[in-house]
Amino acid sequence: MKLRNGIEIPDIGFGTWKTPNDEICLQAIQTAVDCGYRHIDGAYIYKNEESVGQAIHNCGIPRHELFITNKVWNTQRGYQSTLDALDQSLQTMGLDYFDLYLIHWPANALNYQDPVQVNKETWQAMIDAYKQGKVKAIGVSNFMERHLEPLMDMEIIPMVNQIEYHVGLTRPGLVSYCQGKGMIVEAYSPLGRANLLDKEELIEIAKKYNRTVSQICLRFILQNNVLPLPKSVTPSRIQENIDVFDFELSKEDMDYLNALDLGCITKNPDEMRP
């Protein structure tokens, strides 16, 4: 896929939330790279920046062939503290730049008197970091239309919105708003944190294509023009999750999956603390 500024973003990313900050992380990322992943999704709050950084250095792939994402955490919002957080994460990971830097969650009224202003100041820091070349692209995560709208008159608008998205949680209003503004939508928890994998409806579809449920979930996301970020530390699953480019779901099955109601809900960003 291509970001609005012309930069290419590999259309499947490797998730690292809950990946421990140790040898398991080094092995998972090495396996991922060996399987062909070139895009790694990280964050300050995942508390594994040291290992993710080390894995990037050790993996044998030149830095410019990798696409590395990081995110500014909720306690780091605001203009200067966002710039400081970025420098700190780059330093911890031993990197000169991130390919993509995101605001992890929007500020809300539970934590700030004027959350819109906080989001604008944080976003201004993202713009300035982008102009300084410390990040090659900038975006947000967990932003709803109401959080994005006040950013629309700023000099640069988000290039990405990373949201929870999977079969049963396709959020068509938000996705078409973002895509209509030229943002890439990234799907976190694309397997519903593994909760989708035993759903009878999905097992049936997987049988039909002679694929695993995980592969159906990821293929479904790709065919909706959304970029999935599956996480695993298990070598066979890491391989399985990238083997999704040699089959296609039919229009009828896409329609069925897009309409499937599994009772999924996601966190309301305005109820998040801190």
Ligand X SMILES: NC(=O)c1ccc[n+]([C@@H]2O[C@H](COP(=O)([O-])OP(=O)(O)OC[C@H]3O[C@@H](n4cnc5c(N)ncnc54)[C@H](OP(=O)(O)O)[C@@H]3O)[C@@H](O)[C@H]2O)c1
Query: Which residue of the set 46, 130, 165, 188 is catalytic?
Result: 46
CA distance 170 to 1: 19
Question: Whose Cβ is closer to ligand X: residue 133's or residue 263's?
Answer: 263
CA distance 165 to 223: 13
Under DSSP, is residue 237 helix (H, G, I), strand (E, B) or coil?
helix
Under DSSP, is residue 100 helix (H, G, I), strand (E, B) or coil?
strand
Amino acid at 131: K
Contact flag: residue 170 with ligand X (CB under 6 A): no
Least Å distance between CB 149 and ligand X? 20
Backbone angles phi, psi at 143, to 5 degrees: -90, 135
Least Å distance between CB 170 and ligand X? 14
Residue 209 structure tokens = 């294509």
Least Å distance between CB 48 and ligand X? 10
Bridge partners for 164 per DSSP:
188
- Upstream peptide bond of 269 is cis (omega within 30 degrees of 0): no
Contact flag: residue 16 with ligand X (CB under 6 A): yes
Q: Which stretch binds ligand X (CB under 6 A): 76-84, 149-157, 174-182, 234-242?
A: 234-242
Contact flag: residue 229 with ligand X (CB under 6 A): yes
CA distance 66 to 176: 28
- Residues in binding contact with ligand X, number by CB under 6 A: 26
Contact flag: residue 139 with ligand X (CB under 6 A): no
What angle in degrees, to the nearest 10, is found between the helix axes of 213-223 and 251-259?
100
Question: Whose Cβ is closer to ligand X: residue 109's or residue 194's?
Answer: 194
Selected from 51, 70, 170, 189, the binder of ligand X by CB under 6 A is 189
Give the number of other Cβ atoms within 10 Å of residue 73's Cβ. Answer: 18
Report the half-sphere exposure of 71 (CA within 13 A, side-chain side): 27
Question: Whose Cβ is closer to ligand X: residue 132's or residue 147's?
Answer: 147
Least Å distance between CB 199 and ligand X? 13
Least Å distance between CB 21 and ligand X? 14
68-107 mask for ligand X (x: CB under 6 A)?
------------------------------------x---
What angle in degrees, to the nearest 10, is found between the helix axes of 200-209 and 213-223?
90
Catalytic residue list contains 46: yes
Selected from 12, 41, 99, 101, the binder of ligand X by CB under 6 A is 41
Least Å distance between CB 14 and ligand X? 8
Residue 121 buriedness (CB in 10 A; 0-12 / 13-18 / 19+): middle
Contact flag: residue 237 with ligand X (CB under 6 A): yes
| Positions in the binding site for ligand X (CB under 6 A) | 15-17, 41, 104, 141-142, 162, 188-194, 197, 214, 229-234, 237, 240-241
Q: Which residues belong to the active site?
A: 46
